[in-house]
Structure 1
Amino acid sequence: MLIASSLEALPSFSGAGVTIGNFDGVHIGHQTLVRRTLDICREDGLHCVLITFTPHPRSVLAPHRHVPLGSRARCMELLAELGVKTVLELSFTRELANMSPEEFARRWLVPLSVRRLAVGYDFSLGKNRGGSFVVLRSLGLDLGFLVEQLPPVILDGAVVSSTRLRDMIGSGDVRRAARLLGRFYGFSGEVTHGAGRGGGARFLHSQSDEA
């Protein structure tokens, strides 16, 4: 999978299908959006590009409230497993956050020759979340791309979201969290070594064994 931090690092192509998001946790709602974008690209003969941000916007705008659901490396692994081959990973800054939806579209989408844009049910782009689906659809008419908004994914009577997933993990409900993720919940960390007095093994990756 190609992970580019600039447009210049991407290959040239005649038309793109794009989705945009943070994809924190790559839960089943994210998976649905990515698969739909890939389907659109296959149907229309477009190059699929996923646009995401680093660091997570909340870690810049509300750092005391942000709890990540996984590492960047694991996120990229999961996206690659879904079939994503090209990621444009933009550096999230206050300057980027203050872009209007039109400024963002002209700066990042138009140079990609975007023809189709797929977004989640609650997606908004640009300053003060001003780029709602209605705004994006209007921009698309002006700039030459179609916008599709997917409905929410519902599980156990509620919308699948990163916020809901964080609440489950925070309360220790890893069984239900696994249902939202479509896999066991795991965490990664750097291996550390103690004084060598104990017999317990330390490990890099851990998963709940609850189904």
Structure 2
Amino acid sequence: MEIITALGQLHKFNVPCVVALGTFDGLHRGHVDVIRTAREQALKTGGKLAVFTFSNHPYACFRPDRVPPALITPQQKQELLRDLGVNVLVDIPFDLSVARLEPEQFLQRLQALGYSCLVVGSNFTYGIRGEGTVATLRASAAKLGFTLLVRSLVSDGAMVISSTAIRRLIAEGDIVEANRMLGRSYSISGTVAHGNERGRLLGYPTANLELEDNRLAVPLGGVYVVRVLLGDKIYGGMANIGKNPTFGDVEKPRLETHIFDFAGDIYGRQLTVQFVQRVRGEVKFTSLAALKAQLAQDKAACLECLQSF
């Protein structure tokens, strides 16, 4: 997969192609529907599949204090798009030079890709202040002679799937519904850091990931059933997000994961924690014995849940 990171580089991929356009800030089921439709059209026409999106949230340009937490890392985005069969990813920063383009100017710049078809969601906007809409895009398609495919928004039951809805579900701890909307397990990756090793003393050693510098959405505090990706292996586990209220010595939330059937030193290694289901909220225990008893119950509940996946 070729990756283009600036508008001025679009001419480097001037071959007949179909372009999926969108913010794609979560690559949820609605986003994937647009990209798969573009892939099907590319296969029909013998063209290549391109995805045009932004490497940052548009709010970063105008309202940096309101940029929502991310649902996906740049590396995850590239891996998922590669798996979807994308030939070229146009992943440019949304800055003032992009924000100030008139709708017609945006399409003119996009023509450097040599596209024959554009695929968008029905709520797609483009150009300065979002003045370009599906209606203006249809008019341009008729005028310029390209094919336009507009996909209806995808729903999960009565709720339209959106990145905003998924962020809310994650913040509420409803990981099951968030995963259903995403079409995959929500995950957080990071480098395993040293903790206070209290879990080891309790009989449940944990791999710790710091969250304070993480721009990803953080699930509601509590205990979760998880799958853990370490190297090329996948393990079951249970994870806690929070400040360890029983001990009261943690200032910022952290992600602590106990990996089932695993022993070894993984400090400094990359770890990915996939969230499956929330088991319970954070609790302040009156004694270590009560905490250990609860951890045993948590592990049993997590193991039972993992058997159904």
Q: Is 2:112 aligned against 1:45?
A: no
Higher relative contact order (CA 8 A, sep 6+): 1
Aligned partner of 2:182 in structure 1 is: 181
Pair 1:9–1:148, CA change in 2 (3 A): closer
> What CA distance in whole angstroms lies between the structure 1 residues aligned with 2:121 and 2:22?
8
> What CA distance in whole angstroms lies between the structure 1 residues aligned with 2:149 and 2:10?
27
Structure 2 counterpart of 1:157, one-letter code: A
Aligned partner of 1:67 in structure 2 is: 69
Displacement of 1:192 after TM fit? 2.5
Which of 198, 202, 206 pairs up with 2:207?
Answer: 202
> What CA distance in whole angstroms lies between the structure 2 residues aligned with 1:32 and 1:192?
38
TM-score by length of 1: 0.91
Segment drifting more, 146-155 vs 30-39: 146-155
Displacement of 1:201 after TM fit? 3.6
Structure 2 counterpart of 1:77, one-letter code: E
Question: How do residues 41-190 of structure 1 correspond to structure 2 at under 5 angstroms?
Answer: 41-65=42-66, 66-107=68-109, 109-190=110-191
Deviations 1:137-164 (A, max 9, x none): 1122233312111011111111111111
Structure number with the higher strand fraction is 2
Give the conservation status (yes or no) of the 8 Å contact 1:17–1:47: yes
> What CA distance in whole angstroms lies between the structure 2 residues aligned with 1:119 and 1:94?
23
> What CA distance in whole angstroms lies between the structure 2 residues aligned with 1:103 and 1:190?
43
Does the residue aligned with 1:208 lie in a helix, a strand or coil?
strand
> What CA distance in whole angstroms lies between the structure 1 residues aligned with 2:23 and 2:199?
40
Aligned partner of 1:29 in structure 2 is: 30
> What CA distance in whole angstroms lies between the structure 2 residues aligned with 1:81 and 1:37?
14
Unmatched segments (≥5 aa) in structure 2: 209-270, 278-308
Give the conservation status (yes or no) of the 8 Å contact 2:117–2:147: yes
Give the conservation status (yes or no) of the 8 Å contact 1:188–1:205: yes
Give the conservation status (yes or no) of the 8 Å contact 2:11–2:112: no
Displacement of 1:188 after TM fit? 1.7
Structure 2 counterpart of 1:5, one-letter code: T
Give the conservation status (yes or no) of the 8 Å contact 1:54–1:90: yes
Does the residue aligned with 2:26 lie in a helix, a strand or coil?
coil
> What CA distance in whole angstroms lies between the structure 2 residues aligned with 1:79 and 1:30?
11
Does the residue aligned with 1:193 lie in a helix, a strand or coil?
coil
Give the conservation status (yes or no) of the 8 Å contact 2:14–2:112: no
Displacement of 1:8 after TM fit? 5.4
Give the conservation status (yes or no) of the 8 Å contact 1:110–1:143: no
> What CA distance in whole angstroms lies between the structure 1 residues aligned with 2:136 and 2:11?
29
> What CA distance in whole angstroms lies between the structure 1 residues aligned with 2:150 and 2:275?
34
Displacement of 1:55 after TM fit? 1.8
Does the residue aligned with 1:10 lie in a helix, a strand or coil?
helix
> What CA distance in whole angstroms lies between the structure 2 residues aligned with 1:94 and 1:171?
34
Query: Which structure's CA Rg is the greater one?
Result: 2
Unmatched segments (≥5 aa) in structure 1: none
Aligned partner of 2:244 in structure 1 is: none
Displacement of 1:18 after TM fit? 0.5
Displacement of 1:202 after TM fit? 1.9
Displacement of 1:78 after TM fit? 1.2
Report the number of matched residues: 209
Does the residue aligned with 1:52 lie in a helix, a strand or coil?
strand
Pair 1:8–1:125, CA change in 2 (3 A): closer
Q: CA RMSD in A?
A: 1.9
Does the residue aligned with 2:191 lie in a helix, a strand or coil?
coil
Aligned partner of 1:5 in structure 2 is: 5
> What CA distance in whole angstroms lies between the structure 1 residues aligned with 2:160 and 2:131?
22
